[in-house]
Amino acid sequence: MVEHFNPFTLASKQILVTGASSGIGKAIAIACAMMGATVIVTGRNEERLAETLSRMPIGDHRAISADLTKPEDIDRLVENIPKLDGFVQCAGVGSRVACKDITQKAVDYTMNANFESPVLLQAAILKNKKINKAASIVYLSSIAAWSPSMGNAIYSASKGAIISYAQCLAQELASRLIRVNCICPAMVWTDLVLQDGVTRDDLLEDEKRYPLKRYGTPEDIANLAIYMLSDASSWMTGSSIEISGGIIKL
């Protein structure tokens, strides 16, 4: 039976992916479906969620659109999901602003989406008992959490905050064998990296610095998410895994 050996299968798992309308979240949602999971995708844009679903193999997958910065949307989402075996929090935003230009609005924009909403959604899922024993929870963090760059202060802080949070959550859920881990990518080609004055040409130049000579793709990250969601990673919890094309820490 060696030909059927597949420790990474997600067959019969129910997995919720936030931020699934684009970028890394979309790639993870599609990859989960291809590995046999039943996937629930959520994000703000209904049309783009439908596009994500259309890329999945046939199954009982569905989309629930929600703006996770709104408490009523979190409640509605949690009410409408089954008990989860896997949960990937990819919803997030980026911003680039120098420390002296940081405003309350800028702090709220990034911290609400990258820290507050994932934490409150997680609390709602736990309170409503929507997670199975031995489930796997994955947060999309970033190497930015410990790798500083100019203009990235709030984003870095938000990604560091989620790592600290996830480590505590891992402690609290370990007795039920629920695992909590973070993925910390370096630059990945998504819409998120092309904003606040950065152009594609700037990034094409920057990616040459990477030992593997390129930025990541959403699929590169999805493959790590598959491992973390599968039973292959049963002994991994509280970990933050760097996936970076070899770029060295500053």
Residue ranges in contact with other proteins by CB under 8 A: 96-98, 100-101, 103, 150-151, 196-199, 201-202
- As given in the structure block, the two tokens for residue 49 are 């969620």
SS3 139: strand
Closest CB 155 distance from other proteins, rounded Å: 13
Which residue's CB is nearer to other proteins, number 79 or number 202? 202
Min dist CB 232 to other proteins, Å, is 42
Cα→Cα distances 188→87, 93, 160, Å: 21, 13, 18
For residue 116, how far is the Cα from the chain centroid?
14
Which residues are within 8 A (CB) of 28 and not within 5 positions of it... i.e. 6 or more apart? 17, 20, 88, 90, 218, 221, 222, 225
Q: How far is the CB of 18 from other proteins (least distance, A)?
A: 27
Nearer to other proteins, 176 or 200 (CB): 200
Closest to other proteins by CB, 60 vs 201, is: 201
Q: Which two tokens stand for residue 78?
A: 């949690």
Nearer CB in complex with other proteins: 97/183: 97
Taking the complex as a whole, the smallest distance from the CB of residue 97 to other proteins amounts, in Å, to 6
What's the gap between Cα 163 and its chain centre? 12
